[in-house]
Structure 1
Amino acid sequence: MARTTDTLVSMLQAQPVVPVIVVDDAGSAVPLARALVAGGLKAIEITLRTPPALDAIRAIAAEVPEAIVGAGTILNARQYREAEAAGSKFIVSPGMTQELLDASSKSDVPLLPGAATASEVMALVEEGYTMLKFFPAEQAGGAGYLKALSSPLAGVRFCPTGGVSAANAPDYLALPNVVCVGGSWVAPKNLVASGDWDAITGLSSEAATLGTGTISV
C-alpha cells in the first residue's frame, strides 16, 4: 500500500489543483485535456457520472501522453476494473467500501478513497491509506475541519474536493495536511461547450500558481 500511496502523492503533489471534469461529449476530451496540460495541470480526474466518461479516458490516455488521466466517482469493483482498462492512472472514490478495498488490493493503479469524518479517516489508515480525498469538503466542515484534524491525524494527507473554488482553495492549500485540491472551476461547462480552450488554459495557468501547503510523505 505504501508503494501505491507514494505513486499517488507523486502524481498529485506536482500541482495545487486537480481538475474534476464531467464529460458530456467524448469528442471534447482530447482538446480539453490539452488545454489543461498547457496551463500546467497534468493530472486530470474524469468522473464516471456520464456515459462518455470511459471513452474520454481512453482518448486522453491514447492521444495526450503528457496528461495523467484518472477516473473519479468510482463506486464499485466493476467500475474500478473498467477505469483501469481504459487507461486511468489513478482512481478516486467519494467514499470507501470493502469491495473497493479488495479491488484496490488487486490493482497497481492507486486509489484515492474518500472520507468525511475522523472515524472514516482512522478506518482507512488502518487499511494502509494515508492519502485521502476529503469529500464533500465544504459541506463536511471546510478548511477549519481539516485544520483540526492535522494534529491528531498528523500522518494523513488530503485532497479536498466538493465546493472548492478559486476563492477558497488558498485556505485549504495553506494547511500542512493538504497536498492539493480538486475543483471544476478550471473547466466551466460553458467554456467546454463553446470550445474556448484558450480560456480554459488561462484558468488552468491561474490555478497552477496557487500555493500549496507543506507536503510530507
Structure 2
Amino acid sequence: MPRSESAGYVRNSREDVVSAALRILDQQGLPDLTMRHLATTLDVQPSALYWHFPNKQSLLAAVSDRIIAGARPVTTAGDWRDRVRAEAAALHDALLAYKDGAEVVSSTLALGLGAEELQHRLAGAIAVGGFEPETTGLAAETLVHFIVGHAFHWQQRLQADTLGAVADKHTLDRQDPLGPRAFDFGIALLVSGLDTQTPDPRSRRSGV
C-alpha cells in the first residue's frame, strides 16, 4: 500500500525535523544538510518536510534558534560589564558547539529570518548599565557581528587545520588571531568602548 505523503507529518513533529537537521549539520556539515538528505534520514518524502518548513532557509532559521537556545544561562552577579562578557562567551560557545553552527546563524541573521535571541541576550546585559535604548541596541548588534564573525572564521580554520591546509604561522594556539585569547581581548575592547558612552540620565534618577 502506498505511503501517504502526510505520513511524515504525522510521525515527525517540527522539533523532530529540527533535531534531525542538527544531527546532520554536526556530523556532516552544512553542505550535506539538504532537504532531500534530511527527508531520507527521517524516512519520508521531501514533500513531507514542507508541512513544517516552506523552504530550506526557514529550516535553517529554526536550526539557528535551536543552536542559540543551547547557550548556557548567565547567572553572574557582577556589573553590566561582567554580564556582557559572560553572555558573549556563552553565545560564542553555543555557536561553536555544532559544526558550521556560526555559518548557519550568520546566514539567518543576514536574511533577517531569526536568531534574534543573540541580540536580545546581549542587549539585556548592556541595559543593566543604564544606557540609552539606541546605544544599547547598536552595541548589542556590534557585539553580535563580532561574536558570530569570530566563531565563523574559527570554525573555518578548524576545518582547514583538519585538512592540513593551515600555514604553520597560523596554528591554532592562544596567540592565534582567531584563538580564545583574541576573542576575549576583542570583547574587552568593545566593552571598554561602550563604557565611554553616557548612560541614560533617566536610569540615574530611577536608581538603575
With normalisation by structure 2, the TM-score equals 0.28
Please tell me whether Structure 1 or Structure 2 has the larger radius of gyration of its CA atoms.
2
Judging by fraction of residues, say which structure has more strand. 1
With normalisation by structure 1, the TM-score equals 0.27
